[in-house]
Amino acid sequence: MNALWSASALTAATGGRMTIPFSAARVSIDSRTLRPSDLFVALAGERSDGHAYVADALNREAAGAMVSRIPPGLSENAPLLLVSDTLAGLARLGAFARARAGARVAAVTGSVGKTTTKEMMRRILSASGPTHAARASYNNQWGVPLTLAELPPDAAFAVLEIGTNHAGEIAPLAALARPHVAIITAVANAHIGHLGSLEAIADEKAALLAALEPGGTAILPADSPFLPRLEVRVPPGCRIVTFGADPRAEARLIAAVADGNGSEVTARLSGETIHFRLAAVGQHMALDALAALAASAALGLSPHDAADSLAGFAALAGRGARTAIPLPGGEAILLDESYNASPASVSAALAVLALNGGEGRRVAVLGDMLELGEAAASEHEGLAPALAQSADLLFACGPLMRHLFDLAPARLRGGYATDAETLAPMVAAAVAPGDVVLVKGSLGSRMRHVVAALAEARRTRGHERDHG
């Protein structure tokens, strides 16, 4: 086993005490997905306490467990690392790993596009050297330190994703990351119910900039009205590179021409015109790509090589992934945007749906956008013009999306339910060959139930087609 963490490094990083010495190959916070030789960190959350799963983790051959107390029932020789607070211990692991690594670090935040931009950067940088990046959307108070805690000392690059839904959350995570390049993808009204205003959202995102390493680079959205508010937060001695469709942007999007399977993108970066193709549709995807290219250039990569690495990049599961649904007599297309939603991202997804017109209907399946505070009803109603231009049929669920459903013309109303579980079979039964179906809603709206119902339709009705 190649140990990422030796016993001496674990104790030095955390200040903790080991019951017996052990080393670990990786770090895990979930006993269900833990692999042999992992360090299991017993985090205490609102719904569960990881200390209850220490025995299970050790039975699954964890190298040891970081705990703040010894759970009952363990053997006397259980390999434990005792600390006063396990979340703080995880953060100390992350800080130690960041300090010992030679990697050039990029960190991404923004109201939309964080995970897509992070995955684009992973793809680009991996072509130039060993690259470490966050698993999934590990962007919160445990996800960022966990990602850093698994940073190999010999990685050439690291890409972190940093999120927030309350004021003051980004600053401590950014201080752990200490990025050489900081990217803000966009400032929009996601989580405005908690943060209070767009200005407050901009200020929270800008907290990432304060953590830039000396001489670092800030990648900022040129098309945002909050660009001046972000620019003044960049530390002296750090460079600013703007990206967007604005003619003044240093990384400028010239064109993104979409067809049924992707987009041909033309951009200008570092004084050079570059062309590449994405297996994804929508100007928002092209702008995410441009942010990733600008960040990669700031890390020393050739813009042309970086663009070549992006060739064929497709939308991610839950973030626009395109999937065929075989049906008797043909197939439908699912655009899976079920992971999350904000007014800006729903508008962008509807614009993609509009580009996917074909033989069948364009079907929008929308769940509530959450954490919008007092603006919730008006923000849902405000989607009506984009919906009318983009969709032939609307299915909706949730008390907030009811505002949009009631406002929609009668010809668009396909069906409404109070929750996604109830709506899912209605959508699955209605889908016909040739349809393009967009599924989108905030994570708490549980739109994955609709995606699962369509997947089941793909299995059962596709089987009927093959054997009918």
Residues 77 and 113 in one domain: no
Residues 296 and 325 in one domain: no
Residues 22 and 147 in one domain: no
Residues 366 and 448 in one domain: yes
Q: In the beta sheet, which residues pair with residue 436?
A: 333, 362
Reduced to 3 states, what is the DSSP secondary structure of residue 309? helix
The dihedrals phi and psi of 229, each to the nearest 5 degrees, come to: -70, -30
The dihedrals phi and psi of 353, each to the nearest 5 degrees, come to: -60, -40
CA distance 342 to 297: 30
Amino acid at 433: P
Using a 10 angstrom Cβ sphere, with 0-12 exposed, 13-18 middle and 19 or more buried, the burial of residue 443 is middle
Give the CATH number for residue 73.
3.40.1390.10
Q: What is the pLDDT of residue 462?
A: 46
Which of 200, 202, 199 shows the shortest CA–CA distance to 221? 202
Q: Please give the residue range of the domain that contains residue 154.
A: 101-310
Residues 67 and 26 in one domain: yes
- Count of domains for the chain: 3
Instruction: Let me know if residue 95 belongs to a domain.
Output: no
Give the CATH number for residue 142.
3.40.1190.10
Q: What is the pLDDT of residue 328?
A: 85
Instruction: Let me know if residue 292 belongs to a domain.
Output: yes
Domain boundary among the residues 310, 344, 375 is at 310
Residues 68 and 106 in one domain: no
Q: What is the pTM of this model?
A: 0.84
CA distance 102 to 157: 8
Interior CA angle at 333 toward 331 and 339, to 5°?
145
Residues 330 and 392 in one domain: yes
CA 44 to chain centre: 24
Instruction: Let me know if residue 79 belongs to a domain.
Output: yes
Instruction: Let me know if residue 390 belongs to a domain.
Output: yes
Q: What is the pLDDT of residue 357?
A: 67
Instruction: Let me know if residue 92 belongs to a domain.
Output: no
Residues 273 and 325 in one domain: no
Can you give the pLDDT of all 468 residues of the chain as single tens digits? 578 999 999 999 999 999 999 999 999 999 999 999 999 999 998 788 999 999 999 999 999 999 999 999 899 899 999 999 999 999 999 999 999 999 999 999 998 899 999 999 999 999 999 999 988 778 889 999 999 999 999 999 999 999 987 889 999 999 999 999 999 999 987 656 667 688 989 999 999 999 999 999 999 999 999 999 999 999 999 999 999 999 999 999 999 998 867 899 999 998 899 999 999 888 899 999 999 999 999 999 999 999 999 998 998 888 888 889 888 888 999 999 998 888 988 998 999 999 876 678 999 999 999 988 888 999 999 999 999 999 999 999 999 999 999 999 999 999 999 999 999 999 999 999 999 999 999 999 999 999 999 988 655 554 444 444
Instruction: Let me know if residue 94 belongs to a domain.
Output: no
Residues 13 and 131 in one domain: no
Give the CATH number for residue 397.
3.90.190.20
Instruction: Let me know if residue 372 belongs to a domain.
Output: yes
CA distance 9 to 14: 8
Q: What is the pLDDT of residue 459?
A: 56
Q: What is the pLDDT of residue 463?
A: 47
Residues 305 and 354 in one domain: no
CB 27 within 8 A of CB 34: no
Residues 61 and 201 in one domain: no
In this structure, how many other beta carbons lie within 10 angstroms of the beta carbon of residue 359? 10
Instruction: Let me know if residue 247 belongs to a domain.
Output: yes
Residues 461 and 434 in one domain: yes
Strands (E), 142-271: 157-161, 181-184, 217-221, 239-244, 251-258, 263-269
In this structure, how many other beta carbons lie within 10 angstroms of the beta carbon of residue 392? 16
